[in-house]
Amino acid sequence: MGKKEIRFVDAGVSGGVWGLKNGYCLMAGGDAATCRFLEPIFKSLAPENGYLHCGDTGSGHFVKMVHNGIEYGMMQAYGEGFDILKASPYADSLNFEGVAHLWNQGSVIRSWLLELLESAFAKDPHLTEIKGVVADSGEGRWTLQQAV
């Protein structure tokens, strides 16, 4: 393909539906010259410092896969933490939305995922509409396989 001047670039993208408003986190892989050529496009879609040329072709999606593995681990940790609170002798007096909000105020565990959880508690204080099951896209499993 190189003789025909065809280049391959991959770009892992994070930001979901909110990316349209906030910009997308872009993790690009490909040869340096091609990524430099495409950089204005990437930067137009990303917030400031929200784009990185990660390395060779494939590295962008690899970095995104690991990103998703971390995300799934964080969501599991939050879920287990709130489950401990729910099972505690203090459950009846705890305001889970308030706890999620508090933890985002300078705490070491603050994050956008916790902001989303706070919003979920605001709509449904006991998350009764949540099924507790997440579809398996394979990325969490792939990250674990890579780790071992």
Q: Which of 65, 2, 15, 66 is nearest to 42 (CA)?
A: 15
User: Is 100 in contact with 79 (CB distance < 8 Å)?
Assistant: no
Taking the C-alpha atoms of residue 90 and residue 85, their distance in angstroms, rounded to an integer, is 7
Per DSSP, what are the bridge partners of residue 25?
A: 14
Q: Are 54 and 45 in contact (CB under 8 A)?
A: no
**What would you measure as the largest C-alpha separation in the chain, in angstroms?**
69
Catalytic residue among 5, 43, 64, 80: 64
Contact 118, 104 (CB under 8 A): yes
Q: Is 64 a catalytic residue?
A: yes
Structure tokens of 95? 């305001």
Choice among 43, 71, 97, 139 that is catalytic = 71
The Cα–Cα gap between 12 and 112 comes to 19
Active site residues: 64, 71
